[in-house]
Amino acid sequence: MLVPDTMFYMRERVDNGNGNPFEWSYKTSKDLFAGKNVIVFGLPGAFTPTCSNEQLPGYEGLYNEFMEAGIDEVWCTSVNDSFSMFQWAKNLGIENVKMLPDGNGDFAESLGVLVDKSNLGFGKRSWRYSMLVQDMRISKMFEEKGFGDLCPTDPFEVSDAQTMLIEVSKNAEL
């Protein structure tokens, strides 16, 4: 399965001298994933407990091991805008994992992981997952159990960084 063709609305740091060091940048899935071995993990929301305390810091903590195993980049995506994703990474001291805002939920929807979490006051959000993408092809995907709208729980068992590192290490010659 190929990664869906999606447009991402991002903010990138530039030296423009106008007091706002960021400008809008529009990147496609191909811009981000073509010709690379990447890990993408999707989370329900910025600043939420499991996402902030476990999943994002877990990938940040194993970042060097992923690089040693042949991964080019690690991306964290959530149905949040680029401003929220930036502040969330800044708040957690994330320096290596790249933030991939999916403010409209287009990527999550195209991937088939957009769910209704309105029972928790979240609205439409990404289901929790992680995937290994090799030159636009999803070679492995870990999706949490219980997938569906209005799920009363927030499972986190297979999309963690350690599970992905084991998968990536099986084939260190990505």
Between the two ends of the chain, the Cα-to-Cα distance in Å is 17
**pLDDT value, residue 136:** 97
**pLDDT value, residue 81:** 92
Q: Let me know if residue 30 belongs to a domain.
A: yes
Rounded-to-integer distance, Cα 28 and Cα 24, Å = 13
Please give the residue range of the domain that contains residue 118.
Answer: 7-170
- List the CATH number of the domain containing 56: 3.40.30.10
Whether residue 51 lies in the annotated active site:
yes
Q: Let me know if residue 129 belongs to a domain.
A: yes
Residue among 43, 51, 79, 115 flagged as catalytic: 51
Q: Please state the domain count of the chain.
A: 1
Q: Global pTM?
A: 0.92
135-to-35, 105, 160, 172 alpha-carbon distances in Å: 4, 22, 22, 16
In the structure encoding, which two tokens stand for residue 61, read together? 């903590």
Does the pLDDT value for residue 16 go beyond 90?
A: no
Report helix, strand or coil for 39. strand
Q: In DSSP terms, which residues pair with 129 in a beta bridge? A: 42, 143
How many CB atoms sit inside 10 A of residue 81's CB? Answer: 16
Q: Let me know if residue 2 belongs to a domain.
A: no
pLDDT class of 10 with cuts at 50, 70, 90 = confident
pLDDT class of 20 with cuts at 50, 70, 90 = low
Q: Let me know if residue 36 belongs to a domain.
A: yes
